[in-house]
Amino acid sequence: MDKTDVTERTEEPHIADEALQQAPAQDGAAAAGEAPPKQQVRYSMSPGFSELLGSNRIGLSFSSYQSGKFYLLGQNTNGGLLIDERFHQRAMGISVPDKDTVILATLFQIIKFTNVVDAGQQFNDLYDACYVPRELFVTGEIDVHDVGLLKDGRIVFVNTLYNCLGTPSERHSFTPLWKPPFISKIIKEDRCHLNGLAMENGVPRYVTAVSKSDTIDGWRDRRFDGGIVIDVATGKIVIGGLSMPHSPRIHHGKLYMLNSGTGEIGWIEPAPHAAGSKFHAVAFCPGFVRGLGFHGKYAFVGLSKPRYERFQGLALDKKLRDADSEPWCGVQVIDLETGACVQWFRIDGAVGELYDVAVVPGVVRPMSLGFATNEVLNLITHEPLEESSFTD
């Protein structure tokens, strides 16, 4: 891969002048009295990955809660890959309701970013979108997972610690909006590990949970086949028997989701009763799948390595052995018509787990501002002056 193939922007913006595949750390233990070398992050991609983004005029966002990273990818002016990386502690759910809005859940906050670059303009003579944090809601550490935007403009989120859907409150940490019927009360106990949220036209339609348990941590004993999808409007279970389901999404009239414990992306064929519903696998991906976005016939699937050495208690462990494959971290682009992985982006090194993936439409070279540098202090924009209404 040519050395000009990537434009990388981390905590300090710069143009990468090294190959995309960074050199690994030296083998061997650190000398006595020395700190161990910092583990590097290494990126690699399929030859057509950046072209797929550019030709479809889309950016790609994804989060890594383990390393606290929020990424925006696009195609740079040389046809290579643009990587924008910001630090947000425990970066989790992402929602992109439109090209000018990005919502990100973090450890104890939910951040709403707004694009400040007008159509046809560029920021720093390069970026066609710059997402600046404009609204911030402090929720406390309630383990927010997926997020969305309601029709009335309020943010909705999966409050995993309290087993409910919630929205930010002006006075409190959150306002509960809905809970599964099998959860007996709003309480600070992760009982069913509610995690995923499918929105449609500004309305929460479906959620995923690892189980229907109503006792603290009950879901951990149901990871193999206790997973469910719930219809928010009716409270009924649409399908059961899943393994750690995540990331339900409605696309082209179908309900897609990731059966994380088996490493599969698929769609649900509903039936009058949950026992009759079917999960149709589209593709197997070599990792714990979590995070799902769409553009046309393509699904962008997030993959993670195991938190420990193996995916203990999950079918995914055996499926990887049977395929003689190792799990990896990154994003695979799946053709929904064929089930083939047509492009991919891989991360090795310090980043091993992703949470969410979302497509940013109508943007080729996106960037965002975080709170770790002075950029957010110095980028000032304003609306035009309004005629004063304070005079008689």
Q: Any idea where the domains of the chain sit in the sequence?
A: 40-373
Q: What is the value of pTM for the model shown?
A: 0.91
Contact (CB, 8 A) for 112 and 133: yes
Count of CB atoms situated within 10 Å of the CB of 276: 10
d(CA 314, CA 210): 13
Summarised one tens digit per residue, pLDDT across range 299-339 is: 999 999 987 766 777 999 999 999 999 999 999 999 999 99
Average pLDDT, the chain: 91
**CATH topology (fold) of 40-373:** Neuraminidase (2.120.10)
Summarised one tens digit per residue, pLDDT across range 92-132 is: 999 999 999 999 999 999 999 999 999 999 999 999 999 99
d(CA 190, CA 171): 23
Count of CB atoms situated within 10 Å of the CB of 133: 19
Contact (CB, 8 A) for 113 and 84: no
